[in-house]
Amino acid sequence: MGLIPHHFTKELFFNFMKSSELVMVYLNLFSFIIFGNYKWLFVGFSLIVSAFINYYLKHNIAIPLFKKHNDVLPIFGPGKRPDGANDCGYFSNCPKLPAKSYGFPSGHSQFAGFQCAFLIRDILYRKTKDGKFKNLNLEDKISVVVLILLIFAMMYSRVYIEKCHTIQQTIFGAAIGVILGFFSHRFYIEFENKVIYKYPNFFKNCMPLIKILISSLFMYAFF
């Protein structure tokens, strides 16, 4: 074994990026089960909702709109995936399978934008009094920068590594995700302040039941 563990190779990193849309849903729900913070439950299910939104945008808005313009729109670029795109889901296949889903907007980029934007907004909300980046300490500034870089890493991966999207598809996908992430965090904070903190005993008593229900979902998926 070399000085750097095999876990930190370029290939494995981008494989993780490829599957992270699915992995982070599970990770957020597991975090809720382990730590009992309703924030992670909210993020986990919000990512699932975001996936439905992406599906709706692709099939009910993008496909009809792009079809009217021969699949190419100014600024937006082509709606379909690049020619030869394959294995554009969560995992790699052998042999590789041609991509069947539509390209615009990028679902992976939307997920990355959502997850990272939510976490950035949460850091700014909880670590500063005015929500400004300049008032964060160095540690939290590093966290925000890393989260921003992860969005671009996902976009880069989908365009240049996986070759599953155009640049425009990832830009608009990430932008949609960032907007959804920011507004979802705002909604969660309102819910947290006006409901969870107002009825702490109720949510504390509900915690075991919700953990059992979420764990049951995992057991159902396992078996």
pLDDT at 222 over 80: no
The answer to whether the peptide bond before residue 95 is cis (omega within 30 degrees of 0) is yes
Q: Give the position of tokens 């976009």.
A: 155
pLDDT in tens, 117-161: 999 999 999 999 898 999 999 999 999 999 999 999 999 999 999
Of 69, 51, 179, the closest CA to residue 113 belongs to 179
pTM of the model as a whole: 0.90
Q: How confident is the model at residue 11 (pLDDT cuts 50, 70, 90)?
A: confident
Mean pLDDT of the chain: 90
pLDDT in tens, 79-92: 999 988 888 888 77
Take residue 108 and report the two structure tokens written for it. 């992976």
